[in-house]
Copies of this chain bind each other. A is one copy, B any other.
């Protein structure tokens, strides 16, 4: 769709909180190099030359998200859970500005309570939950959406944490997936939001206790979402507040 795609790969930064993987043995067993490494590998495999994928983690200076890194990032993916409050407010400001300026953002699973997601959406982003390893079915409700391309109806995830309604978000700009759980709950688990010049996609599967990011259909959704969230053309500046004297556009055109 964009000229960019013809020119160069999408530059993806996969961000990982990287706490559970280091302290919880069962998580390390699933993701020995960290969840971010598995997510990045899945994107690399599916997107090939169409993407350049790197990772960054909470523990790096500035969480690995310096101004230079963000300037060179078309799409950022975000997984966090145990350490939302440890994310530096200055970095959150930088992320916020980057998204409004056009950087795509994929917020994963427990990232619903991250500072950046709540900052962008303005609501509590609270939800119902239960971690009993039950089956999640991810249903496509918008089959023509690019993020649903090549995704089975439904995606079957054998064991997952339950996330249920009410999910306190603004009405999504696009609702792509709705999940059901063995216990009966439903969840709007695949939602897009447009904010400033940026595209945001929230995708709920992905608790650290289950091998969700090894699931090929989940990987497919993430790869589709990276393509979809990449800015059209070059990254733009955020909207400013120009004082525009009478007739300004006639003079500009002349």
Contact = CB atoms under 8 A, between A and B. Distances in A.
Interface of A: 1-2, 5, 100, 102, 119-124, 126-130, 132, 134-135, 137, 139-144, 146, 149-150, 152-154, 156, 162, 164-168, 170-171, 173-175, 178-186, 188, 193-199, 227-228, 231-233, 236, 238-247, 249-250, 253
Nearest to A239: B168
Contacts of A100: 123-124, 168
Nearest to A183: B246
B122 A236 contact: no
Nearest to A135: B184
29 contacts: A1-B227, A2-B149, A100-B124, A122-B195, A127-B239, A128-B241, A129-B241, A130-B243, A130-B246, A132-B245, A132-B246, A137-B185, A139-B164, A141-B165, A141-B166, A141-B186, A143-B239, A144-B196, A144-B198, A144-B231, A144-B236, A149-B232, A153-B165, A156-B253, A170-B193, A171-B174, A171-B175, A183-B247, A186-B186
* The 4 residue pairs across chains A and B that have the minimum distance between CB atoms: A168-B239, A1-B1, A144-B197, A122-B122
Contact of A119 (B122, B166, B239): B122
B168 A238 contact: yes
A122 B120 contact: yes
B253 A152 contact: yes
A228 B171 contact: no
A146 B232 contact: yes
A194 B144 contact: yes
Given A1-B146, A127-B239, A146-B232, 4 more contacts: A142-B171, A168-B239, A171-B194, A186-B186
A151 to B, nearest CB: 12
A53 to B, nearest CB: 18
